[in-house]
Chains A and B, each alone.
Chain A
Amino acid sequence: MSGAALAFEEISHHFGAGAERVDVLDRVSFDVPAGSVACVVGPSGCGKSTLLSLAAGLARPSAGTVRWDGREVRLGPNLDLGMAFQQPGLFPWLTVRQNVAIGLRTRGKAKAEALAVADEFLATVGLSEFLQAYPSQLSGGMAQRVGIARALALHPRLLLMDEPFAAVDAFTRIKLQQELKALLKRYAPTVVFVTHDVSEAIVLGDVIVAMTKRPAAVQRIIPVARQDRDRSSPAYATKLAEALACLGVTPESGGE
Chain B
Amino acid sequence: MSAGVWRDRVVLPLAGVVLVALVWQGIVALYRLPVVVLPEPWAVARTLAGLLPTAAFWRDVGVSVFEFAAGYSAGVVLGVGAGLLLGESRTFRLTASPVIEALRFIVPFAWIPLTVLWFGTSYTGKIVLVAYAVFFVMTVSTTRSIMQVDPTLTRVGTMLGMGRAALAFSVHLRAAAPAIASAARAAAAVGWIAVVAAEYIGASAGLGVMITNAATSLQTATVIAGMIAMGLIGAAVSAAVGWLARSRLDYR
Task: List residues of chain A with CB under 8 Å of any chain B CB.
Answer: 53, 56-58, 76-79, 81-83, 85, 87, 89-93, 102-103, 106-107, 134, 136, 150-151, 154
In the docked arrangement, what's the CA distance between A103 and B174, Å? Answer: 16
CB–CB B171/A58 < 8 A: no
Within 8 A of A (CB), among B9-64: none
Shortest CB–CB separation between residue B197 and chain A, in angstroms?
37
Q: A135: nearest residue on chain B (CB-CB)?
A: B251
Q: A89-B150, A91-B175, A134-B251 are contacts. A106–B162 as well, Cβ < 8 Å?
A: yes
Task: List residues of chain B with CB under 8 Å of any chain A CB.
Answer: 150, 152-153, 155-156, 158-163, 166, 171, 174-175, 177, 251-252
Partner among A53, A77, A151 whose Cβ is within 8 Å of the Cβ of B161: A77
Please name all residues of chain B whose beta carbon is closer than 8 Å to the beta carbon of A92 when the two chains form the complex: 175, 251-252
Please name all residues of chain B whose beta carbon is closer than 8 Å to the beta carbon of A150 when the two chains form the complex: 160
CB–CB B161/A85 < 8 A: no
Partner among B152, B162, B252 whose Cβ is within 8 Å of the Cβ of A85: B152
Shortest CB–CB separation between residue A203 and chain B, in angstroms?
25
Please name all residues of chain B whose beta carbon is closer than 8 Å to the beta carbon of A77 when the two chains form the complex: 158-163
Q: A85-B152, A87-B152, A89-B153 are contacts. A58–B175 as well, Cβ < 8 Å?
A: no
Q: A87-B152, A136-B252 are contacts. A93–B159 as well, Cβ < 8 Å?
A: no
In the docked arrangement, what's the CA distance between A106 and B156, Å? Answer: 12
Q: A85-B152, A136-B252 are contacts. A91–B174 as well, Cβ < 8 Å?
A: yes
In the docked arrangement, what's the CA distance between A136 and B163, Å? Answer: 26
In the docked arrangement, what's the CA distance between A136 and B155, Å? Answer: 19
Please name all residues of chain A whose beta carbon is closer than 8 Å to the beta carbon of B155 when the two chains form the complex: 53, 56, 58, 85, 89
CB–CB A106/B166 < 8 A: yes
In the docked arrangement, what's the CA distance between A92 and B177, Å? Answer: 11
Q: A89-B153, A93-B177, A106-B166 are contacts. A58–B252 as well, Cβ < 8 Å?
A: no
Please name all residues of chain A whose beta carbon is closer than 8 Å to the beta carbon of B156 when the two chains form the complex: 85, 89-91
Please name all residues of chain A whose beta carbon is closer than 8 Å to the beta carbon of B162 when the two chains form the complex: 77, 106
Please name all residues of chain A whose beta carbon is closer than 8 Å to the beta carbon of B161 when the two chains form the complex: 77-79, 103, 106-107
